[in-house]
């Protein structure tokens, strides 16, 4: 008997200790919730600015109107007033005002201040409101895929709004009222106020003037060529700051197509970062850089700048034939140097380079240029591209990689690799945000450039740039030339593949260029996807880059650069 009593006592004691020590916080919270009601104090989301302080994403104050059915004294009268004031359906309003199954219910969100003032003047029992912040984008569709948008709860849903949400979001507060058991505010009680912590701002590397310029140029190209898409990224090769990112078609961030998820997913995708393609001849910049660097290092398998490539118009590799796209002089395929091969965009010459360097050495450069892995951009959803594993590469694969086929890259990967090839060999992590700001605009944290690796030497960059200047002066890139300024670059025209086969009549036209060639500050990769009619990069993309460069010169008031400086 005594043992049974002791056993029962231990059970009761254990239960008592469990309630006191384990369940106590939960039970205390439940009790507090029964005797209090909270009105949220919404934190103001941090602003997003361009590099010069131009507001790109801010807030507009709106309100949410709530009701506590237990505290409503005249449901019918309140429903009539709210239906008229908020333009609500009367029956819907009445149903919510009588719904006692919930402690509180939201009657309507995103209500303007003028309507809230009328509700406040009516002094409706059980009806109250709370301030909210509606995200507002002053420039509409500008950089929409980069900025991204917020969800209904004001949290970041895509783009930089999502990536930097921890900084932008802040922390909500609340006003707590003492109430009786049915939710009616206790007379004479004083509310407790817990303030919100507003979010921090972010200052981007984007220059909205360059962004707007590039969007205007690419928008006209999209319309005039009836293309599927038009894209452009502008980098500062000195530290890989992203100055502009254009993805067209686009959409207005103040009118997001939330009801059409297919359209929203397509329009909000930052294809410069998330999509891959075969770059074609713009990739020859990197093959040339690898060859020059190896020649300077004394590699006998590399070709000198004075080397004369064979005049044969084709190369046979593993039973496949690689052809040059055209004849060069007087209807004949000519002997040519590396500089001339770049001017003429001759595929066989770059096949020779890749095969001569060999798979292991060429793949060392592909790795140094970060193909097959992310660039380090501060943005979600970056693709790593498609690069065949080194151990399965055949000679015909290596030959085609040399001129930009059998490899798929993101536009950003290509732009960054080229930037490092021409800036002295410095590969930085590209960045979209340079500063975290306090509410008053003062700098809280600076996000400095991060050097990831060295790719080539300064001498290689100098030699390569001289060749790429020749492409713009007298080769396929002539239409990107800007009188009085040293512009260098390379055109590209790539056939598209669909379901493992060449898609007839579908091309990607591109141009990758930069200026001033002697000290690069602006590098642009221009891509027109499936232009109708003319499709060569020299005809479609190069003029667009030249127009963007001229616009930047005007915006920045840049003085001409003397030859040889």
Does residue 46 register a pLDDT over 90? yes
Domain ranges (residues) in the chain: 38-64+106-204, 208-556
State the pLDDT at residue 18. Answer: 52
Q: Which CA distances in Å does 307 have to 295, 353, 354, 461? A: 11, 11, 15, 19
- What does the alpha-carbon distance between residue 494 and residue 412 come to, in Å, rounded to a whole number? 17
Q: Could you tell me the pLDDT band of residue 27, with boundaries at 50, 70 and 90?
A: very low
Choose among 204, 211, 130, 210: nearest CA to 168: 204
Q: For the chain, what is the mean pLDDT? A: 88
Is the pLDDT at 143 greater than 80? The verdict is yes
What pLDDT band is residue 33 in, cutting at 50, 70 and 90? Answer: very low
Looking at residue 513, its pLDDT comes to 98
Lowest mean pLDDT among 124-133, 147-156, 292-301: 124-133
Taking alpha carbons only, the member of 454, 506, 465, 545 closest to residue 278 is: 506
The Cα 512–Cα 174 span in angstroms is 53
pLDDT digits (tens, 9 = 90+) for 223-234: 999 999 999 999
pLDDT confidence of residue 74: 79
- Distance of alpha carbon 363 from alpha carbon 398, whole angstroms: 9
- DSSP result, 244-294: EEEEES---TTS--TT-HHHHHHHT--HHHH--B--GGGGHHHHHHHHHHH
Assigned fold of 38-64+106-204? Penicillin-binding protein 2a (Domain 2) (3.90.1310)
From CA 176, how far away is CA 190, in angstroms rounded?
9
CB 143, CB 206: distance < 8 Å: yes
Six-digit token string for 203: 């200052």
Residue 90: the pLDDT is 81
- Mean pLDDT, rounded, for 153-171: 93
> What is the mean predicted confidence (pLDDT) over 173-193?
59
189 vs 42, which has greater pLDDT?
42
The CATH number for 208-556, chosen from 3.30.1300.10, 3.40.710.10, 1.10.10.10, 3.90.1150.10, is 3.40.710.10
Residue 30's pLDDT band (cuts 50, 70, 90): very low
- 159 pLDDT above the threshold of 90: yes
For the chain, give the longest Cα–Cα distance: 117
Q: Answer whether residue 289 shows pLDDT above 90.
A: yes
Helix (H, G, I), strand (E, B) or coil at 110: strand
In angstroms, what is the C-alpha Rg of the chain? 32
Mean pLDDT of the 42-61 span: 92
Alpha helices in 297-435 (DSSP H): 338-344, 347-357, 359-368, 395-401, 411-422
Give pLDDT, residue 312: 84
Active-site residue identified among 158, 225, 241, 281 = 281
Q: How confident is the model at residue 515 (pLDDT cuts 50, 70, 90)?
A: very high
Tokens of 381: 């959803």
Percentage of the chain with pLDDT > 90? Answer: 66
Pairing of strands 48-49, 201-204: parallel
Least confident of 41-50, 238-247, 279-288, 477-486: 41-50
Predicted confidence at residue 177, as pLDDT, reads 59
Residue 510 a catalytic site member: no
SS3 content of the chain, % helix, strand, coil (to 5): 40, 25, 35
Q: Is there a shared CATH topology between the 38-64+106-204 domain and the 208-556 domain?
A: no
The residue that leads in pLDDT, 134 or 367, is 367
- For the ranges 167-176, 259-268, 358-367, which has the lowest average pLDDT? 167-176
Report the pLDDT averaged over residues 185-211: 81
């Amino acid at each position: 008997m005594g043992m049974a009593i002791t056993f029962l006592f231990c059970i009761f004691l254990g239960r008592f200790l469990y309630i006191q020590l384990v369940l106590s916080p939960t039970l205390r919270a439940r009790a507090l919730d029964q005797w209090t009601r909270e009105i949220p104090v919404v934190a103001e989301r941090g602003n997003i600015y361009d590099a010069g302080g131009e507001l790109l994403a801010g807030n507009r104050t709106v309100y949410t109107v709530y009701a506590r059915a237990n505290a409503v004294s005249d449901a019918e009268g309140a429903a009539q007033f709210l239906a008229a004031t908020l333009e609500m359906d009367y029956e819907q309003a009445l149903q919510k005002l009588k719904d006692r199954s919930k402690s509180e219910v939201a009657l309507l969100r995103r209500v303007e201040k003028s309507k809230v003032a009328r509700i406040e003047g009516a002094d409706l029992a059980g009806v109250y409101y709370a301030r909210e912040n509606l995200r507002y984008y002053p420039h509409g569709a500008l950089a929409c895929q980069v900025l991204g948008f917020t969800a209904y709860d004001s949290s970041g849903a895509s783009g930089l709004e999502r990536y930097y949400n921890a900084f932008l979001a802040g922390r909500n507060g609340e006003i707590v009222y003492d109430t009786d058991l049915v939710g009616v505010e206790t007379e004479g009680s004083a509310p407790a106020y817990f303030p919100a912590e507003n979010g921090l701002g972010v200052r981007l590397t984007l220059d909205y003037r360059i962004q707007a310029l590039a969007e205007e140029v690419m928008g006209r190209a999209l319309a005039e060529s009836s293309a599927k898409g038009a894209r452009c990224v502008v980098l500062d090769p000195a530290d890989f700051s992203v100055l502009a990112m254009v993805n067209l078609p686009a959409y207005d961030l103040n009118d997001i197509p939330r009801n059409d998820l297919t359209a929203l997913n397509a329009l909000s995708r930052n294809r410069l970062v998330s999509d891959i393609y075969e770059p074609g001849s713009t990739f020859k910049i990197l093959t040339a850089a690898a060859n020059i660097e190896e020649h300077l290092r004394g590699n006998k398998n590399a070709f000198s700048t004075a080397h004369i490539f064979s005049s044969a118009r084709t190369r046979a590799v593993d039973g496949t034939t690689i052809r040059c796209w055209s004849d060069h002089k007087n209807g004949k395929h000519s002997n040519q140097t590396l500089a001339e091969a770049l001017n003429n965009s001759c595929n066989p010459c770059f096949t020779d380079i890749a095969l001569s360097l060999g798979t292991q050495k060429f793949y060392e450069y592909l790795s140094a240029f970060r193909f097959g892995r992310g660039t380090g951009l501060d943005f979600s959803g970056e693709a790593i591209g498609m690069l065949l594993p080194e151990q399965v590469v055949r000679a015909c694969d290596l030959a085609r990689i040399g001129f930009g086929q059998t490899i798929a890259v993101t536009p950003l990967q290509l732009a960054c690799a080229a930037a490092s090839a021409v800036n002295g060999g410095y590969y930085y992590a590209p960045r979209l945000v340079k500063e975290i700001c306090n509410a008053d605009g003062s700098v809280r944290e600076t996000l400095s450039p991060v050097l990831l690796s060295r790719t080539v030497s300064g001498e290689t960059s100098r030699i390569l740039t001289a060749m790429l200047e020749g492409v713009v002066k007298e080769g396929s890139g002539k239409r990107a030339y800007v009188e009085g300024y040293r512009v260098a670059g390379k055109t590209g025209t790539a056939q598209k593949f669909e379901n493992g086969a060449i898609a007839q009549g579908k091309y990607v036209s591109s141009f990758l260029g930069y200026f001033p060639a002697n000290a690069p500050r602006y590098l642009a990769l221009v891509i027109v996807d499936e232009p109708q009619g003319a499709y060569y990069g020299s005809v479609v993309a190069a003029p667009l880059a030249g127009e963007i460069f001229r616009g930047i010169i005007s915006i920045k008031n840049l003085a001409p650069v003397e030859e040889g400086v």
